[in-house]
């Protein structure tokens, strides 16, 4: 899930000779694909990990 979100963010922010994403074109052709992909992937990964954590309860008698 995090990989796909990062890949999508990268595609939207890429600027190459054959494809320029909408975010990149609105920023004057700046290629922010690596930064956007890494940040979005990290945020999605962190958010999904937080929701799956369970509370640790101590064992009886401890």
- Does 22 fall in a domain? no
Range of the domain at 4: 1-9+32-51
- Does 25 fall in a domain? no
Please tell me the predicted confidence (pLDDT) of residue 53: 58
Between 39 and 54, the more confident residue is 39
- Does 37 fall in a domain? yes
Please tell me the predicted confidence (pLDDT) of residue 54: 66
What is the average pLDDT across 1-8? 95
Structural domains of the chain, count: 1
Q: How many CA atoms lie within 13 A of 3 on its CB side?
A: 0
**pLDDT 10s digits, 24-50:** 999 998 999 999 999 999 999 998 876
Is the Cβ–Cβ distance between 27 and 36 less than 8 Å? no
Q: Is the dihedral of CA 22, 26, 30, 36 positive or negative?
A: negative
């Amino acid at each position: 899930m995090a990989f796909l979100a990062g890949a999508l963010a990268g595609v939207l922010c890429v600027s190459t000779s054959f494809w320029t994403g909408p975010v990149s074109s609105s920023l004057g052709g700046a290629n922010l694909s690596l930064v956007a992909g890494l940040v979005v992937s990290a945020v999605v990964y962190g958010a999904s990990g937080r929701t799956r954590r369970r509370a640790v309860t101590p064992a009886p008698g401890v």
